[in-house]
Every structure is written in structure tokens, then in C-alpha cells.
Amino acid sequence: MELHVRGRKFLEGVRAITCYIVPLHAASQSQWAQLNLVQIMEYKVMDNETIGIFGGSGFYDFAEAGVEEIRVDTPYGPPSDKLARMTVAGRNVVFLPRHGHEHTIPPHRINFRANLWAMKELGVTRIIAPSAVGSLQPNIAPGDFVINDQFVDRTSGRIDTFFDGPVVTHVSTAEPYCPSLRALAIAAARQHGVTVHETGTAVTIQGPRFSTKAESRWFGSQGWSIVGMTQYPEVALARELAICYTAISLVTDYDTGVQIEGGTHVEVTDVMAVMRRNVATVKKVIRTMLEKAAPVRECVCAHALDHARM
Ligand SMILES: [Zn+2]
């Protein structure tokens, strides 16, 4: 006998149901008594939630066993590369290098819509997105992590929505980052001894050029924390698909307009050294996040579209 839940083949053989219910011991007997079979099955379907990671090509060695590379076609064209499906810390993980595995796609040429759509196609409901940034504030030093909670968009010409009509949709980005994933990232960074800033505002510039000193000083004088080239529109598109998203902003250097008392800006070689250290550390942090992430997301992000349609 096959069991279908909302059209999806779920189980073969009723005896198997027992095997699925037994691990779900978190709920009390009385709570389970109130659940009907379909609810229990849906709970288990969600238990297979996949977590996505955008990042540099250093993540292929994350897998505990083989990596399955999957080419995904999207209505928006090809994503940056094949997606790598793997198991990490017992979790289903999909990894996509946003600049391509040879790092050949500059920030302003990334097909963000295709990348997010491809993640969605493979069942991703939560995304962890590390990226390199420059600091706009003296107290945010190279090597620090910022789990920013706001963004400012200073890009131009990037396609930044899935909703081109005819159904007019306005998604809220008042709090654009997932509160649960952010809390996980902060706790994991602390566990690994990283200096982590628990809030902050990330400016995304269009690139590929870096800011002028005047632009950089202006960003800093607004109280904004860090500057990079990829968080927008990645985070906004994730929200439009009701996918949880947290950035992990890895500070590599001070941006050009920052005045550092008694110091000078770091050299490129220093930037590369900081970058290598950051990548090694962020992999440990993300592994801890995967170990500790709730099997089922419990935040509000899944409801991003509930009141967004006109
Ligand atoms: Zn969320």
C-alpha cells in the first residue's frame, strides 16, 4: 500500500508509519492524540527540510560522503553553477558557489533570481550565506564576523524581484534576515571564539569597482557597518520565495573611508590571509549551525507572502 500526502508519494507499507512516529517523541502523548495522520505525515515531510549554502568553492569538501552535482534549469536562465547536494552533520545540504566554482562571475553579473529559484527547486527552505565584506567602522575589525540584521541597497540595474505582475506583490523587508538563523549563527560564532557583531547594517554596492573615499565616509557616517557586493538582491529574493536567509559577513579589511587611530589600511596580502582564516572558521561555524538547527523551521519567514498580494 502506498500513502500519499497532498499528492506526494510518501510511504510504502503502513507498517512503516510506526518507524516515522517513534523518533518524534518531543510532543506529549496528549498532543499526538490531537494530531490526525495527515498532520503527522506533514510534520515528517518538513523534517526533511534542506538547508542551502551560498559561498566560495571551498565548501565542496564539506560533504560527509559523496557530492551529487545537479544541473537545474530555471525560468530565469542558468544559476551560477551546478548545485552540489550533500549530507553534512546529518542534514540535507545544497551548496551553490555564487561566483561559479572557478570564481568567474563578478558580483554585478550574478543571476541572483536563477540561484534562488534553483535552491527552491531542490527543496531548500533555509539559506546560510557567508560573504566577504569591508568594515565601515573602526570597532569592526578584519577577522570579525557581522551577523547583520539590516541592509541598504546601493546597487543599480540588478533584477531584484520575482514579481513582475500581473499579480502585484509587495513583500515586507522591514526585518529581512531570519531571526532564528541569525541567533544560530551568533551562538555558533561565539562557540568557535569568533568576535561577532550581533547586529549591523550591510551596504551592497553595485561593483565591480570599490567605493570612493567620499562614498565610504558617507556610508560610515550613517552608522552603517559593512560594505559588500552580493547580499542584495540575494536576501530580498529569498524573502520573496519565503526562504529563511542569514548572512554571515566576514570582514576582510577596513573600507577606504574608515579612519583608524594610529593605523593604516591593511595590504592586499593581509586581506588574503584574513580571507583564508575567515573561510576556515566560517566552515566550522556553519557545521555547528547545521548540527544545532531545529529539524523544522519555526520562524515567521514561511509566511512572507501571507499579506503581500494586492
Ligand atoms: Zn526564518
Q: How many Å lie between the centroid of ligand 1 and the Cα of residue 304?
A: 10
Report the number of distinct structural domains present in the chain: 2
The three three-digit cell numbers of residue 295, written as one number: 529539524
Q: How many Å lie between the centroid of ligand 1 and the Cα of residue 21?
A: 25
> Which of the four pLDDT bands, split at 50, 70 and 90, describes residue 62?
confident
Q: Is residue 156 part of a domain?
A: yes
Q: Is residue 155 part of a domain?
A: yes
Stronger pLDDT, 68 or 14, i.e. the higher one:
68
The C-alpha atoms of residue 192 and residue 178 are separated, in whole angstroms, by 21
The C-alpha atoms of residue 34 and residue 300 are separated, in whole angstroms, by 24
- Could you read off the pLDDT of 153-184 as tens digits, one per residue? 999 999 999 999 999 999 999 999 999 999 99
Is the predicted pLDDT of residue 37 greater than 60, yes or no? no
Q: Which domain holds residue 38?
A: 1-47
pLDDT given at position 309: 84
Q: Is residue 239 part of a domain?
A: yes
Q: How many Å lie between the centroid of ligand 1 and the Cα of residue 127?
A: 9
The C-alpha atoms of residue 112 and residue 221 are separated, in whole angstroms, by 29
> Which of the four pLDDT bands, split at 50, 70 and 90, describes residue 31?
very low
pLDDT given at position 268: 66
Q: How many Å lie between the centroid of ligand 1 and the Cα of residue 182?
A: 9
Q: How many Å lie between the centroid of ligand 1 and the Cα of residue 50?
A: 13
The answer on 255 and 136 residing in a single domain is yes
Q: Is residue 89 part of a domain?
A: no
**Residues noted as catalytic:** 253, 255
The C-alpha atoms of residue 267 and residue 244 are separated, in whole angstroms, by 36
pLDDT given at position 12: 43
Q: How many Å lie between the centroid of ligand 1 and the Cα of residue 73?
A: 26
Residue 278: CB partners within 8 Å, gap ≥ 6? Answer: 132, 143, 145, 250, 251, 252
Is the predicted pLDDT of residue 263 greater than 90, yes or no? no
Q: How many Å lie between the centroid of ligand 1 and the Cα of residue 262?
A: 42
The answer on 242 and 143 residing in a single domain is yes
- Could you read off the pLDDT of 233-243 as tens digits, one per residue? 999 999 999 99
Q: How many Å lie between the centroid of ligand 1 and the Cα of residue 243?
A: 7
The answer on 168 and 40 residing in a single domain is no
Is the predicted pLDDT of residue 282 greater than 50, yes or no? yes
The C-alpha atoms of residue 129 and residue 141 are separated, in whole angstroms, by 20
Q: Is residue 233 part of a domain?
A: yes
> What 3-state DSSP class applies to 244?
strand
The answer on 186 and 296 residing in a single domain is yes
Q: Is residue 38 part of a domain?
A: yes
DSSP 80: S
Q: How many Å lie between the centroid of ligand 1 and the Cα of residue 269?
A: 37
The C-alpha atoms of residue 136 and residue 223 are separated, in whole angstroms, by 8
Q: Comparing C-alpha atoms, which of 290, 5, 233, 238 is closest to residue 125?
A: 238
Q: Is residue 161 part of a domain?
A: yes
Q: Which residue has the cell 540584521?
A: 149
The answer on 161 and 265 residing in a single domain is yes
CATH number of 283's domain? 3.40.50.1580
The answer on 164 and 38 residing in a single domain is no
Mean of pLDDT values over 112-118: 98
pLDDT given at position 177: 98
The three three-digit cell numbers of residue 284, written as one number: 566550522
Average pLDDT over the chain, rounded to whole? 86
